Each structure stands twice: as C-alpha cells, then as structure tokens.
C-alpha cells in the first residue's frame, strides 16, 4: 500500500472541488418576484426582463433564477404593462428614485403625437448609412 506523502494536497483538492460546485447550486435557486402596477393590466402573461410574468389586476408575479432586480428589468416590464408602483424580489426592492427612473423610461419610449400613417402597398423607406457587418463602405470601389 502506498502512503500519501502530501495529505494537505489531497485535502486542498477536496475543498476546491466542494467550493467550485457551490456557486452552481446557488445560481439554480429560484426567487419570487413581484410588481405592483399603477393601473389594471389586460395582459395575463408577459415576458419581460428575461422573466415570464403572470399578471392579474394590478399585480404581476414571477419565479426566476438570480433574485436581482434592476431598473432595466423594471422598465422592460413597465413597457409591456404600464407604469409600476413597486418592483421587488425576495432579495431586494427598487427604491423610489430607481422606480421613478424605471417609469420615466416607459414614458420616454412612448411615441408623442399621432402615429405615422402607413401607405398601403409601400415598404418603409430605408437609408444606407455606412458599413454593415462583412460589407464595404458606401461608395467604395469593388
């Protein structure tokens, strides 16, 4: 039988493998999310901010990995269902300032004035502005 001359090496390998697996398990945990809407929504299911939301009345709920909340995720949901009064997960909720920023992005994204009228049978006008991936600049000789 062969004896291990470096028991600390074996112990180090065991501990490293245990700690390396721990973050994977923590990321798999699902957290509850909740959003309170300023008005009743007509949509029952919404996909926003990388999360599938279930909405009823003035409340949307979801379950997803991570548990983080952000202004970006909030504004994506607000664009889909309207302004929000609250946005939170089990870990954190947005403060008043962040919530105002979330709702401001929603109103900024809304078009002002009447919607442009489409001309039947005509495609929208496109303008070439330079280079496309793998392409050449406008006006370059071939």
Q: What is the pLDDT along the chain (142 residues), one digit of tens a residue?
A: 566 565 555 555 565 555 555 554 555 789 999 999 999 988 899 999 889 999 999 999 999 988 888 999 999 999 999 999 999 999 999 999 999 999 997 776 555 545 445 455 555 555 545 555 555 555 555 4
Is 141 a domain residue? no
Residue 10 inside a domain? The answer is: no
pLDDT of residue 68: 86
DSSP class of residue 93 equals B
Lookup: tokens for 130: 């330079």
- Let me know if residue 105 belongs to a domain: yes
Domain interval for residue 96: 29-109
The answer to whether residue 116 sits within a structural domain is no
Give residues with Cβ within 8 angstroms of 32, minimum separation 6. 61, 62, 63, 89, 90
Residue 103, SS3 per DSSP:
helix
Q: Give the model's pLDDT for residue 14.
A: 60
The total domain count for the chain is: 1
Q: Give the pLDDT confidence score for residue 52 in this predicted structure.
A: 93
Distance in Å from the first CA to the final CA of the chain: 75
Residue 133 lies in a domain: no
Residue 51 lies in a domain: yes
Domain assignment present for residue 39? The answer is yes
- Residue 65 inside a domain? The answer is yes
């Amino acid at each position: 039988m062969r004896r291990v001359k470096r028991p600390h090496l074996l112990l180090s390998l065991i501990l490293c493998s245990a700690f390396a697996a721990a973050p994977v398990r923590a990321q798999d945990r699902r957290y509850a999310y909740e959003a309170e809407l300023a008005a009743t929504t007509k949509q029952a299911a919404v996909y926003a901010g990388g999360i599938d939301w279930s909405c009823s009345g003035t409340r949307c709920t979801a379950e997803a990995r991570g548990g983080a909340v952000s202004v970006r995720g909030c504004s994506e949901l607000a664009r889909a269902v309207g302004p929000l009064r609250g946005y939170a997960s089990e870990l954190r909720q947005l403060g008043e300032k962040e919530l105002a920023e979330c709702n401001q992005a929603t109103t900024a994204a809304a078009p002002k004035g009447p919607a442009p009228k489409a001309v039947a049978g005509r495609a929208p006008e496109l303008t070439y502005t330079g280079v496309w991936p793998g392409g050449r600049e406008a006006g370059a000789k071939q």
